[in-house]
Amino acid sequence: MDYQAVLEEVAAHARPFVRQGQVADYIPALERVSADRFGMAVADIHGAVYGVGDWEVPFSVQSISKTFSLALVMAQSHGSQGDGDIWKRVGREPSGTPFNSLVQLEAENGIPRNPFINAGALVVTDRLQTLTGDASTSMLHFLREESGNPHLAFDQAVADSEAEHGDRNAALAHFMASFGNLENPVPSVIEHYFWQCSIEMSCRDLAVAGGFLARHGLRADGSRLLEAREAKRINAVMLTCGTYDAAGEFAYRVGLPAKSGVGGGIIAVIPGRCTLCVWSPGLDARGNSVAGAAALDHFTTLTGWSVF
């Protein structure tokens, strides 16, 4: 596979979509990002990385971080009650409602539908805080190691902006706490959640860091982070729940496990082959990058690679 040639053709196809959609404006620090940006990277399972456009420009990972927090919780719970425990506290089903919805929590006794909506991610962050004592820093250290980029950092402005406009996330957390579904104080859980979302990474960083999902749980250094069945399960939940309440449409178009973020990034996995990351800040009504989805759709069309 000539990845570079494929990426260049994908970028050309995606270019007309780049200014479509709206940059996230409910987090003021994200609203200032130029809508003209587009980058895409591919990291194969052997460590080779290819990119096009703004593929080395850092951006706010936002909800893409939820994939890594779930992986870290599962990795620290091998063979223990902890692995099973997280699935007693959060489900694995598509939500069918917006990522920050309160509606289902009351009807379902404070148990979020899946770990990739905000309520579910708060539960996973809470569990990671219990396991590590510092959920956000643990994630940052892992991402630095796995991406090979020691300069990855939190974006203070984004974290502050999220905290200033985080009333709905606070409501979700307090509501779940009222059902006994948080182990740590609500302010601590929310703080670590915001810090995780504020991490800045490039397409290159994210594609490399997510490689363990394409390598069936093996880290870049060959050590095992997850059992193969655990990596399979994370990929499965990404496929069914990773693009908010548009997961069915995304699976129909792209056919890959993926996780999007309102910073405009999408990470996608082709098990046994490679991991991809695309970034373009213009979002559709459901919070997914318009150009990013178009690029991944064209990539799987050109290559014939998908999980189907």
Q: Does the annotation count 262 as an active-site position?
A: yes
Give the integer Cα–Cα distance in Å for 231 and 229: 5
Q: What burial class does residue 47 get, using C-beta atoms within 10 Å of its C-beta: 0-12 exposed, 13-18 middle, 19+ buried?
A: exposed
Q: Does the annotation count 232 as an active-site position?
A: no
Q: Which helix (H) or strand (E) holds 74?
A: helix 65-75
**Exposure b/e, 265-285, CB count within 10 A at least 16 = b:** bbbbbbbeebbbbbbbbbbbe
Which two tokens mark 207? 């594609």
Q: Which amino acid is at 108?
A: E
Active-site option among 18, 50, 52, 66: 66
Give the integer Cα–Cα distance in Å for 125 and 102: 18
Active-site option among 60, 63, 65, 136: 63
Give the integer Cα–Cα distance in Å for 219 and 68: 13
Active-site option among 6, 49, 161, 193: 193
Q: Does the annotation count 208 as an active-site position?
A: no
Active-site option among 60, 244, 254, 289: 244
Active-site option among 124, 186, 262, 290: 262
Give the integer Cα–Cα distance in Å for 164 and 28: 10
The residues annotated with a catalytic role in the active site are 63, 66, 193, 244, 262
